[in-house]
Structures are given as C-alpha cells and as structure tokens.
Amino acid sequence: MPTAMRRWGGLLVRYWLPVVAWAGLIFALSSIPSLESGLPKAGDLVLRKLGHIIEYAVLTLLLRRALRAHGLPPERSGISAAALALLYAGLDEYHQSFVPGREGSPRDVLIDALGIGAALYLLPRGRSPGR
C-alpha cells in the first residue's frame, strides 16, 4: 500500500473515527424518546442542559483535533470545528423533531453553542494534535 494511502488511513482511524463515534453517540441519545433522570423537574432540566454543553464541547474538541491533524492552523481549525459542531447541533435538533416524545428546539442549539464556545475558550493555542 502506498505511503500516502497508509497515512490517510491512519488519519481516518486516529482522528476521524472518534468524531464519528461521538456524533453517533449524540445521535443515539437524541433518538431516545425520554431521557428523564428521575430527579425533580428542575434538577432534571439542569442535568439535561449540562449534557448538551458537555456533548458539544467534546465534539468541538474532537473536530478541532481532526482538522489540526490535516494541518489547519489553530485559529482556522477552531472556527471550522465550531461551525461543523453548530451545524451538527442544528441537524440533531431537526432529527429530534421526528422522535416521539422529543422536540427540536432552537434554544437547545444555543445551549450547544455554549459548549462549543467553552471548548474553544479552553483550547491551548498553537499545539498540534497528539504532540
């Protein structure tokens, strides 16, 4: 197998497979008709919204890591990761609108955006992934 193909395959597995797996987990969770925790209503709401923030912070970090592996500079990879994560948040809310017992909510996309912003804020500047 040529070196370039081997390198591309390594990038796919090492950097993009975690992105796809995490996005798949988000999709699976949003396919569940009810995610009530059994906590009082206010506690359940806080827990679910915190879940949104964490899910999309992790997705943003994984996306940026994958984009940096392809040589994008830190600023550009961060903006690109944020845009892709925000697009996925919107698509996921649209998907939820078809799940019985769930609804798609623009407010949840804004909450997802908080996670995306938090991830970008916490990122080290200028480091390459895996180094």
Is residue 128 in some structural domain?
no
Do the Cβ atoms of 62 and 22 come closer than 8 Å? yes
CA-to-CA separations, 46 to 17, 24, 41, 114, 130, in angstroms, rounded: 30, 23, 9, 14, 33
Would you state the pLDDT for residue 125? 58
Counting the structural domains of the chain, the total is: 1
Task: Inform me whether the pLDDT recorded for 94 exceeds 80.
Answer: yes
Is residue 79 in some structural domain?
yes
Query: Could you give the percent of the chain with pLDDT greater than 70?
Result: 85
Q: What's the pTM?
A: 0.85
> Which residue range(s) make up the domain with 33?
3-122
Is residue 87 in some structural domain?
yes
Q: Select the more confidently predicted residue: 101 or 95.
A: 95
Helices 74-96 and 41-69: angle between axes, nearest 10 degrees: 140
Is residue 129 in some structural domain?
no
Task: Give me the half-sphere count of Cα atoms (radius 13 Å) on the Cβ side of residue 5.
Answer: 2
Q: Rounded distance, CA 26 to CA 59, Å? A: 9
Euclidean distance between the first and the last CA atom of the chain, given in angstroms as a whole number: 26
